[in-house]
Structure 1
């Protein structure tokens, strides 16, 4: 498992900058016997998505909803496109309390809450909708409880999609076609384990460095939801896409626990309500954009549809490894996924 990274000089300097920004609007939290209200509260939200990506659109929806529900008293300042660091660096800042909140990625989040990595077990979910039904219940409650201990208040699991594979070397038809390919992965132990098991050479790299890495040949390919591939123009430097749906990932929306605890109760309610509504908007846009992009990729790239059964069999050892590491949560999330799958099968019969 990848442990939380110790903040370096770059992180501390970045944190100092964020603290300065945050201090402009957070006088409500300074001094006194407890939180007190001022005319306005500013909350800094960081994310790594490009404009037009559903994560970016969802952040804008959240910003608008908070402003509306608070009559302008609460301002969400959005710092996107990794302008305050990679997802890993933003998680460090949120944990340290120098960044208020982040719509982040599952891998960096799982470096603090290792059980969250099991959401990305290969082929655990058939569709994104299957994942929603599992994650929005007791699974989210369990992960949220673990997160509080690590300094994160979970506001929801946004949709980071079913993930597919692109590369510039050859079409992927069977698992063996991945052998030896240098595939960029996020900083996520589960994804690294999956691609190592498939015989690829998994190469962690910050998302902001990926386009250049693909263009210069530092990596042969990568894996992402097609929405992320398209919004960051990765398809411009790739020639093959394999629709594998090999894993599902969330974008955990987290807030610094210390910041959360210093907010008045009515502001907390506004944030919770706004985040829930923005989540629905983000998921809707993710679904719509995915359908459009799949159709466009059929025209632009060589698209293959490998047999999911073969890929599932090839990645079966990953289940054994993670079951040993987190037996209780492994059983919980697998039971929840199977229950939803069974309900769907019975409804269709």
Structure 2
């Protein structure tokens, strides 16, 4: 018995002295849906690396990607339950606060400089408070990206080419409505389910930023890639308002500052990957075409009209964002 006790004490001492391990360390879980190599994956890992360098020994950010902790809607619920510290929703935010449907409007955001102005002059003053009313807090706005269409039927040049196409969309009502206007047959589906749906023919196609398309390996089960840039989707570093306030003030300060600092890394990485991935897609055997963007813009009017009718102040939000785009 004495030998066993001695061995236990020795082992415990060794554990306590092992670099990087702490019996009292609190893990701050960051869940997201991105696969390895995705923009989400690289963004969250960069955030974790920078934050952990500044947090000391008591707290550690740990990333959980590839929908390990659930889909976007599930992880938003886990935030409120205190089962998760951070998540990185994109389209699903329009299901939390109606006004976030703004970022489901086609051809609204011109480029990342435009988006930075929108964050400063629209999202932070007008939308952050609405999110807090729902029990959440946004620490920073990152990126999902400019979205493109892939499918197994034909190249998509105009909205007419989408007629009857079974198209997976994220869980957001405005994306569904937009593609209905374009003539497709859209169906919301969690990202983790999409590869199998495409592989089996349950879905003919899907739409996502290039980085998501490539990291999800959709090029292995899709023949056509059409460059439409139909929507730019931000991504939001979200925490539970109540559970966030339980963290020490100095920890909150480090995490919030780091989340905002990482935005430049996100934008630079996204722009670089956009340039590189088209060649990778082509090498994988996909047929790539540039869509007629004006044809899509011309078909988008009804979506804007619905947004103005159904979301209070929706038309004014759209006008403010468009005006910020004219400053380029």
8 Å CA contact retained: 1:214, 1:221: yes
User: 2:166, 2:187 within 8 Å by CA — same for their partners in 1?
Assistant: yes
Q: Which residue number in structure 2 is paired with residue 192 of structure 1?
A: 176
CA contact (8 A) 1:121 1:247 kept: yes
Deviations 1:110-160 (A, max 9, x none): 211111111121111223442233124332332111111111110111111
**What is the match of residue 117 of structure 2?**
133
In the TM superposition, what are the counterparts of 1:53-72 in structure 2 within 5 Å? Answer: 53-72=38-57
Deviations 1:16-69 (A, max 9, x none): xxxxxxxxxxxxxxxxxxxxxx96432111111011112111111111111111
Shift of 1:298: 4.0
- TM-score norm. by structure 2 comes to 0.89
Counterpart position of 1:110 = 94
Q: Equivalent residue for 1:142? A: 126
Aligned ranges 1:175-190 → 2 under 5 Å: 175-190=159-174
Matches within 5 A, 1:25-64: 40-64=25-49
The corresponding residue for 2:104 is: 120
Point out the structure with max Rg over C-alpha.
2
Report the TM-score when normalising by structure 1: 0.83
- Where does structure 2 lack aligned partners over 5 or more consecutive residues? 1-22
Moved over 3 A (4+): 38-41
List runs of 5+ in structure 1 lacking aligned partners. Answer: 1-37, 345-349
Inter-partner Cα distance in structure 2 for 1:246 and 1:74:
40
Please name the residue that 2:307 is paired with. 322
Is contact 2:148–2:207 with CA below 8 Å preserved after alignment?
A: yes
Equivalent-residue separation in structure 1 for 2:209 and 2:151 (angstroms): 14
With 296-305 and 255-264 compared, the bigger mean Cα shift is at 296-305
Q: Choose which of 250, 275, 278 in structure 1 pairs with 2:259.
A: 275
In structure 2, the residue matched to 1:262 is 246
| Offset of residue 280 of structure 1 | 2.0
Q: Quick one: distance in 2 between partners of 1:127 and 1:68?
A: 32
* 130 and 295 in structure 1: CA distance in 2 versus 1, 3 angstrom threshold: farther
- On the 8 A contact 1:91/1:109 being kept in 2, the answer is no
* Alpha-carbon distance between aligned partners in 1 of 2:292 and 2:111, rounded to the nearest angstrom: 15
Stretch deviating more after TM superposition (279-288 or 239-248): 279-288
In structure 1, distance between residues paired with 2:248 and 2:314: 33
| Structure 2 residue aligned with 1:202 | 186
Judge conservation of contact 1:46–1:101 (CA < 8 Å) in 2: yes
- 1:151 and 2:135 correspond: yes
Partner secondary structure for residue 263 of structure 1 = coil
SS across alignment from 1:134:
helix
Aligned residues: 305
Q: Is contact 1:139–1:333 with CA below 8 Å preserved after alignment?
A: no
